[in-house]
Chain A
Amino acid sequence: MDEKNLQHDEQNSPEQEDVTSTLGSATPEVPTDQDTTDQATSKPKPGFFSQPISRSFFIGFALTAVIGGFSVLIPSPAYHCRPRELAHATICASNMSSIGKSIAICTGENKNHSPSDFYAMIETGPPRGLFKCPSLFREEKCNPTYDSAGKYLKDMDYIYTLRGMEIEKLLPEMLMLYELPDKHCNTLLAGCFVRQQCDSDSFRKKIQECNDFLANKRGVQK
């Protein structure tokens, strides 16, 4: 066996040896006697994974993992934003519910007709902060303000549909107030019921029903 290896080494030229050394493990190397003696005497080459995991290395890694883990995972969006967004959806539903109650109060004072605009009920009813959805990641935050004439509340998050309607003639399922779906979708119906998380098809259907109702109210086009 050794004789064969020696013959094999003799047949290899120095250039071929260089090539095999550069290729590394691409070509199988047959260990020679000289190699085996070198491996026995020399220490392993220094490298990151060649050394066994020492105790100090493990302590350093563990300390970094514990301290860094808390600092990375605790403020991450996956752990915090979802519950916070759920809380914001609940606050938004509460806002809508308050607006619904204010509409009901104004309706009672106005011969069963819903207020024609929000400005009509802000005087006695909800503060304008209620007209903002507190949802996260909104690309543009609204700022409910009055227009230059001071009569019309603009720039709010909710869309008020059935203005000045006789409430008793409306179906309780008619869409009264809604917001464009972002992270959540709340809708206030004429029965002052806040519905959360409707699916997109039924949401569109509700809006279209409301539009068709208004079209019927307006009458035949001339």
Chain B
Amino acid sequence: MRFFKGVLFGIVVLGLIGVVVYFCGDYRTNRPPFDCEYVLSADGVQKVGDAVAGYTKAQFRRPSSLGELVSEGYLSQADLFDASRRKKTDPDGKPLTPDVIYFSALRPNDPPDTVLLCTVVRKNENDKYSVVFNDGRFAQLTRQQLVNALNRTYSHICRSLPQTAATSQGTAPEPKQTHS
């Protein structure tokens, strides 16, 4: 009888250890690869998207950089960074890259499903990426959707560049049926 009590006690103790190990392991394996604490929020990305739309409407062209929106008064410097970020300059005193990626090569008449603004890192495993498309639509995409949208965007931009092989290579060889 005491033997079975010992077995029971061992199962209880191991169960508790197992729960602790499981959650510690889950934390260790699910954490991001590097310090991803600075990500512009969805509202922040929308605000930057609205500012770009306002600038385009007033100036009839897209801003060359997000810094131009700040200098023209459409946004403040803080709007381009995560609210929790304190220092907005690097150790050399230069301004940091904003926490949102801007595709300045896009034009208003480019395809609407190309990416104009997006976040490329996320704080948590289940978070989604905030994206503003070229037509001003805001969306939150999964990783794979964003990868596809970015590839589409780069493909379009590079095709529209003057005098590159991307434009001249319009007739690429057909892939074999075995790949598809």
Asked if B179 contacts A137 (CB within 8 A), the reply is no
**Neighbour of B179 across the interface among A122, A142, A222, CB < 8 A:** A122
B158 at the interface (CB under 8 A from A): yes
A160–B156 CA distance with the chains assembled, in angstroms = 12
Interface residues of B in 45-64 (CB under 8 A from A): 61-62, 64
User: Could you give, for residues 98-123 of chain B, a 1 whenever the CB lies within 8 Å of some chain A CB and a 0 otherwise?
Assistant: 11011111010000000000001100
**Neighbour of B147 across the interface among A54, A180, A219, CB < 8 A:** A180
For A, the interface residue count at a CB cutoff of 8 angstroms equals 85
In the assembled complex, the CB of B10 is this many whole angstroms from the nearest CB of chain A, namely 3
Given A73-B21, A150-B175, A212-B65, check contact A63 B158 (CB 8 Å).
no
Given A164-B165, A207-B101, check contact A180 B146 (CB 8 Å).
yes
B139 at the interface (CB under 8 A from A): no
Given A156-B147, A159-B150, check contact A182 B155 (CB 8 Å).
no
Given A57-B3, A60-B6, check contact A137 B14 (CB 8 Å).
no
Asked if A72 contacts B14 (CB within 8 A), the reply is yes
In the assembled complex, the CB of B159 is this many whole angstroms from the nearest CB of chain A, namely 7
| Chain A residues within 8 Å of B105, by CB | 211, 214-215, 217-218
For B, the interface residue count at a CB cutoff of 8 angstroms equals 77
A160–B158 CA distance with the chains assembled, in angstroms = 10
Q: A60-B8, A155-B144 are in contact. List 10 more A-B contacts (CB 8 A).
A: A64-B14, A72-B21, A76-B22, A123-B176, A139-B142, A164-B165, A185-B33, A201-B38, A214-B103, A215-B104
A residues neighboring B (CB under 8 Å)? 48, 54, 56-65, 68-69, 72-73, 76-79, 81-82, 85, 110-111, 113-117, 119-120, 122-123, 128, 136-140, 142, 145-146, 150-152, 154-166, 179-185, 197-201, 203-205, 207-208, 211-212, 214-215, 217-219, 221-222
B residues neighboring A (CB under 8 Å)? 2-11, 13-14, 17-18, 21-22, 24-26, 28-30, 32-36, 38, 61-62, 64-65, 90, 96-99, 101-105, 107, 120-121, 125-126, 129, 142-144, 146-148, 150-151, 154-155, 157-162, 164-169, 172-176, 179-180
